[in-house]
């Protein structure tokens, strides 16, 4: 079977992991935006409750100041002692003004858009990729099915030539069937290769679109942290620890790698010599990596000594890493 030269390997196409680049795996970025909305709401509530405490305290100070100021003016105390008493009420009034006007002003965060907007943007960025990826998986399945049928037809043709019980007419039909299967395989291979090429060609655009949406998520998070810092500075002291919180966030996905999701086949049960170029050969007891589960034809995909190929599923005992 001819080797298919393409910039995207079968292992990567069939891989499934929690990498940011995989279909639907932008959930962490969406969740952070949704969490940011809740955190803004929580901070607003916290500041409102503190503001209510401050307002109550200021009201009590004003009430106390007026009560005792009136009492002192009408009382018997005089001279410097009266002035000292009045200074206490004046200090309380000023402190009440301070807590009423200079601390814990109402903070307006504005309308924070829901995570649904970000999720829709990610879905739009992945729309073409999902379409191309689905086509790759469909043509891949068709290609391998056609290869199995071709192999079976060729074996039937070979057996017929060595079987005197097979008539010439039957042998001719088997030869025609093998030829048709070969044509079908070639056609399926071309379709599969084109689908892989289309996916590879779209990959830079796909990554750029995903990065742009993620940058919007980053901007929202930076804005939220900036609002937090500004609010905290007005309320008490600067929260310098928040500086750079987004840049150092472990949620940034751009260091993610495409994961093959490998398993290990431990202890092959029998010797197997490959019949085709895309198969693996091994001896009983060999260990190699399993890349894909058994297909409808009874074959798995694995990797041994750096070589990727197919092998009969019932020839190996599998355990997960």
Nearest Cα residue to 28 out of 243, 254, 226: 254
Place of tokens 């070969």: 182
Residues 205 and 285 grouped into a single domain = no
- Looking at the fold, whether 194 and 227 belong to one and the same domain comes out as yes
Same domain? For 138 and 285 the reply is no
- 68 is a domain residue: no
Share of residues in the chain with pLDDT > 90 (%)? 13
Question: Is residue 217, in this structure, part of any structural domain at all?
Answer: yes
Which of residues 227, 255, 283 is at a domain's end?
A: 255
Q: Please indicate, yes or no, if residue 94 is contained in any of the structural domains.
A: no
**253 contacts 19 by C-beta, under 8 angstroms:** yes
Q: Tell me, yes or no, whether 69 lies in a domain.
A: no
Q: Distance from CA of residue 88 to its chain's centroid?
A: 62
Cβ-Cβ contacts under 8 Å for 270 (sequence gap 6 or more): 284, 315
Task: Select the more confidently predicted residue: 213 or 110.
Answer: 213
Q: What is the domain range of residue 309? A: 263-319
pLDDT-wise least confident of 24-28, 60-64, 65-69? 24-28
pLDDT of amino acid 310: 87
Closest CA to 21 of 293, 221, 213, 303: 213
Domain identity same for 195 and 119:
yes
Query: What is the reported pTM?
Result: 0.43
Are 230 and 272 contained in the same domain? Answer: no
DSSP class of residue 267?
E
Residue found by looking up tokens 């000023």 in the block: 94
CATH number for the domain that contains residue 213: 1.20.1270.60
Residues 116 and 242 in one domain: yes
Largest CA-CA distance found in the chain, in angstroms, rounded: 137
Domain's final residue, options 255, 274, 299: 255
Residues 279 and 200 both lie in one domain:
no
- Same domain, yes or no, for 14 and 144? yes
- The number of CA neighbours under 13 Å toward the Cβ of 119 is 13
In this structure, the answer to whether residues 284 and 160 fall within a common structural domain is no
Tokens 């990498």 found at? 19
Give me 57's structure tokens.
């305290």
Q: Does a structural domain hold residue 240?
A: yes
Within a domain: residue 311?
A: yes
Alpha helices, DSSP H only, in the chain?
A: 10-14, 27-74, 79-101, 115-161, 168-235
- Using CA atoms, how far apart are residues 186 and 52, in angstroms rounded to an integer? 77
In this model, does residue 236 exceed pLDDT 70? no
Q: Which residues contact 261 (CB under 8 A, 6 or more apart)?
A: 15, 16, 17
Q: Does residue 292 share a domain with residue 208?
A: no
Residue 100: inside a domain:
no
Please give the distance of CA 184 from its chain centroid, rounded to a whole number. Answer: 38
CATH number at residue 301: 2.30.30.40
**What pLDDT, on a 0 to 100 scale, did the predictor assign at position 196?**
92
Same domain assignment for residues 198 and 222: yes
| Structure token digits, residue 43 | 């901070």
Which pLDDT score is estimated for 244? Answer: 45
Q: What confidence score (pLDDT) does residue 234 get? A: 58
Instruction: Note whether residue 269 is domain-resident.
Output: yes
Domain count, the chain: 2
Q: Which of 140-144, 229-233, 246-250 has the lowest mean pLDDT?
A: 246-250
Mention every residue, 6+ apart, whose C-beta is less than 8 A from residue 117. none
Strand order from edge to edge, sheet including 307-312: 307-312, 299-304, 288-292, 263-268, 316-319
User: Is 229 within 8 Å of 238 (Cβ atoms)?
Assistant: yes
Say if residue 143 is in the same domain as residue 21.
yes
Contacts within 8 Å (CB) and 24+ apart, 221-226: 221/32, 221/33, 221/36, 221/246, 221/249, 222/246, 224/36, 224/39, 224/40
Domain end marker among 223, 255, 287: 255
Of 46-55, 241-250, 261-270, where does the model show the most confidence?
46-55
Which of 178-187, 252-261, 290-299 has the weakest average pLDDT? 252-261
| pLDDT band of 231, cuts 50, 70, 90 | low
């Amino acid at each position: 079977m001819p080797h298919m030269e393409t910039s995207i390997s079968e292992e990567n196409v069939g891989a499934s992991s929690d990498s940011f680049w995989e279909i639907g795996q932008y959930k962490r970025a969406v969740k952070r935006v949704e969490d940011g909305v809740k955190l803004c709401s929580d901070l607003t509530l916290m500041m409102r409750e503190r503001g209510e405490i401050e307002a109550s305290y200021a009201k009590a100070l004003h009430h106390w100041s007026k009560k005792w100021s009136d009492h002192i003016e009408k009382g018997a105390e005089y001279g410097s002692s009266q002035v000292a008493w009045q200074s206490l009420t004046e200090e309380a009034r000023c402190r009440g003004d301070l807590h009423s006007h200079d601390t814990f002003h109402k903070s307006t965060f504005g309308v924070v858009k829901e995570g649904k907007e970000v999720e829709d943007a990610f879905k739009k960025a992945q729309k073409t990729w999902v379409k191309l990826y689905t086509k790759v998986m469909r043509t891949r399945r068709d290609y391998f099915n056609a290869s199995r049928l071709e192999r079976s037809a060729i074996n039937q043709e070979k057996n017929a030539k060595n079987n005197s019980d097979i008539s010439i007419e039957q042998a001719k039909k088997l030869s025609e069937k093998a030829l048709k299967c070969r044509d079908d395989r070639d056609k399926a291979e071309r379709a599969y290769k084109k689908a892989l090429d289309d996916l590879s060609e779209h990959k830079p655009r796909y990554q750029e679109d995903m990065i742009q949406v993620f940058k919007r998520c980053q901007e929202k998070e930076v804005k939220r942290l900036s609002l937090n810092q500004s609010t905290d500075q007005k309320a008490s002291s600067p929260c310098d620890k928040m500086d750079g919180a987004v840049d150092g966030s472990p949620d940034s996905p751009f260091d993610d790698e495409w994961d093959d999701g490998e398993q290990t086949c431990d202890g092959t049960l029998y010797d197997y010599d490959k019949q085709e170029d895309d198969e693996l050969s091994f001896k009983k007891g060999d260990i190699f990596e399993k890349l894909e589960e058994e297909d409808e034809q009874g074959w798995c995909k694995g990797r041994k000594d750096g070589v990727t190929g197919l092998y009969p599923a019932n020839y190996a005992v599998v355990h997960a890493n």
